[in-house]
């Protein structure tokens, strides 16, 4: 029986990174809501920019979970993180499909978002598994607020994008609650503020690039 190569984990991580950044996954659940009526040019442009930000966020989410799972010491925590990543594959697929429907492209900086988020996730997990779960809880709390803001900004006529964001928000709330119940600790205020700052940079940049 051939032995595993020391390079195998690196190659697996690289494969996951390339797929998250460049390949549209197959969702386990159908995209919420049928396509909306035709949108005006202004509505389509705003919807596309918002969905590009959300797609970039889902690329980053995949990287965070994979980075945390790669360093996690506890098998149960690692499986929780990988399961959350699998569930959020639907979000990645939905956002990418909606971008395609709107005739828009993903963020050109997706590889950068993935690399940076993987590193952040690995650092969080290196502190401890409870800190890693707390990081998930805080991340999902901030993502919930972000999605609520996007629902307020998304054109009312774009019922498809709005349904996607609403389904994503429900899932994020559930992931955060599960991470907290699994033993996640509250992160210090400076760490939470730093997370908000990094997220703000990504969302504002992905809106345009």
Residue 162 sits in a domain whose CATH number is 1.20.1260.10
Name the domain count of the chain.
1
Q: Which domain holds residue 95?
A: 40-206
For residue 139, give the nearest of 71, 88, 209, 76 by alpha carbon: 88
Predicted pLDDT at 127? 87
**pLDDT of the chain along its 209 residues, tens only?**
445 554 444 445 555 555 555 556 677 788 888 888 889 999 999 999 999 999 999 999 889 888 888 888 888 888 888 888 888 899 999 999 999 999 999 999 999 999 988 998 888 888 888 888 888 899 899 999 999 999 999 999 999 999 999 999 999 999 889 888 888 888 888 888 888 888 889 899 999 99
Distance CA 107, CA 21 (A): 9
Residue 36's pLDDT is what?
A: 86
Q: Which of 82, 63, 204 is nearest to 122 (CA)?
A: 63
Q: What is the pTM of this model?
A: 0.86
Position 3 scores a pLDDT of 52
Q: Give the pLDDT score at 17.
A: 55
**How many whole angstroms separate alpha carbon 142 and alpha carbon 119?**
19
In a domain, 58, yes or no: yes
Q: Which two tokens stand for residue 30?
A: 């159908």
Are 92 and 59 in contact, with CB atoms under 8 Å apart? Answer: yes
Residue 35 in domain: no
Does 63 fall in a domain?
Answer: yes
């Amino acid at each position: 029986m051939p032995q595993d190569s020391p390079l195998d984990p690196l190659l697996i991580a690289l494969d996951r990174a390339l797929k998250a950044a460049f390949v549209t996954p197959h969702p386990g659940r159908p995209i919420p809501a049928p396509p909306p009526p035709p949108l005006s040019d202004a509505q389509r442009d705003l919807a596309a920019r918002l969905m590009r930000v959300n797609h970039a966020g889902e690329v980053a989410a995949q990287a965070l979970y994979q980075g945390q799972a790669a360093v996690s010491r506890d098998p149960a925590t690692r499986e929780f993180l990988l399961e959350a990543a699998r569930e959020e594959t639907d979000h990645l697929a939905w956002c990418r499909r909606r971008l395609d429907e709107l005739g828009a492209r993903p963020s050109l900086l997706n590889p950068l978002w993935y690399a940076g988020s993987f590193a952040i996730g690995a650092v969080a997990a290196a502190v401890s598994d409870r800190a890693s779960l707390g990081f998930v809880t805080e991340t999902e709390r901030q993502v919930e607020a972000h999605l609520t803001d996007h629902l307020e900004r998304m054109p009312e006529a774009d019922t498809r994008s709005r349904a996607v964001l609403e389904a994503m928000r429900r899932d994020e709330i559930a992931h955060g609650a599960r991470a907290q119940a699994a033993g996640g600790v509250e992160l210090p205020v400076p760490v939470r503020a730093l997370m908000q700052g990094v997220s703000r940079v990504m969302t504002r940049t992905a809106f345009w690039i």
